[in-house]
Structure 1
Amino acid sequence: MEALYTAVATANGREGRAATSDGRLDLSLAMPPALGGSGEGTNPEQLFAAGYAACFAGAIGLVGQREKIDTKDVSVTAEISIGKDETSFALAATIRVELPEELSGGTGQKLVEQAHEVCPYSKATRGNIPVTLVVE
């Protein structure tokens, strides 16, 4: 792969800070209450969810452009769960895609499936964590 862009971020623990090299993102990190933390900061699962949702929305736009389908009213929500597996912790993802009425049915389902094939986050997670696609 030839890199077109590289994002750089540094974190100093789950209970510290995370910041990007350009300073556009600089935030406090905290464990969520469900994992025993204060919840008074964001956490890696929220950051992953935001990134995955944005990337998947971009993939839908790309596929829509290729197929000449208007995707401006499509909304993507990513849910990232953390839990215990046999050895430590693991992630799972649910990608919820809200489609406008005109894309309901087969066209919308095909659009979401094609986006899942080209989305870089979907490619990175494929075979590594369970990803469930939900078309709404």
Structure 2
Amino acid sequence: MAKHTFNSQITWTGGRNTVGELHTGALDEKISVPLAMDGPGLGTNPDEMLLGAASTCYTITLAAMLERNAIALEALQVNSESSVDVSRGIFTYEKITHHVLLKLPADADEIKARKLAERAEQACMISRAIQGNVQLETLITIEKNH
């Protein structure tokens, strides 16, 4: 069985409101608590990175599924948002919603493309990793050229 290993390194030199450095793969980024959570708001943060991981995984998974099913894709846009409950001093990542816009040629199988867009969420490894802990929603719009 083949396995892939991913690594990250973080340098952090203080308390909660420190600005650290994250190095993982092609990503070299400052990290800190976001302004919305009373932090310095420099670089990225775990909330944005989880949303980014979920949305990129969904996008790549859907593109691969469309390709394997010979459905031509003119454009794919995924706009994702998350909600985090910060009440009572406990931070809870509640929900991720993907707003998906598929642009297909006129002769594309729209029904099959929609089914694949719905199934891509379950096929994505990041979605599977957080399933049961974070609510996932996918809202799909399909446009076809005529």
* Alignment TM-score > 0.5, same fold: yes
Which residue of 68, 89, 92 maps to 1:90? Answer: 92
Taking structure 2 as the reference length, the TM-score comes to 0.75
Work out the number of aligned pairs and report it. Answer: 133
Q: What value does the CA root-mean-square deviation take over the aligned residues?
A: 2.7
- Which position in structure 2 is the counterpart of 1:135? 140
**What one-letter code is carried by the residue in structure 2 that aligns with 1:120?**
M
Counting aligned pairs with the same residue, the percent is 25
Distance in 2 between residues matched to 1:50 and 1:118, nearest whole Å: 17
Which residue of 50, 53, 78 maps to 1:51? Answer: 53
Which blocks of at least 5 consecutive residues in structure 1 are unaligned?
none
Pairwise CA distance, 1:66: 2.4
**What one-letter code is carried by the residue in structure 1 that aligns with 2:5?**
T
Greater strand content:
2
Taking structure 1 as the reference length, the TM-score comes to 0.80
Distance in 2 between residues matched to 1:14 and 1:131, nearest whole Å: 30
- Which position in structure 2 is the counterpart of 1:18? 22
- The answer (yes or no) to whether the contact 2:71–2:113 under 8 Å persists in 1 is no
Q: Deviations over 1:70-99 (max 9, x none)?
A: 235112223233223788222121112111
Larger mean Cα displacement after TM superposition, 95-104 or 56-65: 95-104
Distance in 1 between residues matched to 2:42 and 2:74, nearest whole Å: 34
Structure 1 runs, 4 residues or longer, greater than 3 Å off: 12-15, 84-87, 101-108
Alignment of 1:1-136 (within 5 A): 2-3=2-3, 5-11=4-10, 12=12, 15=18, 16-20=20-24, 24-84=26-86, 88-91=90-93, 92-100=95-103, 102=105, 106-136=111-141
**What one-letter code is carried by the residue in structure 2 that aligns with 1:37?**
G
Distance in 2 between residues matched to 1:42 and 1:82, nearest whole Å: 15
- Where 2:92 maps in the other structure, the secondary structure is strand
- The answer (yes or no) to whether the contact 2:77–2:102 under 8 Å persists in 1 is yes
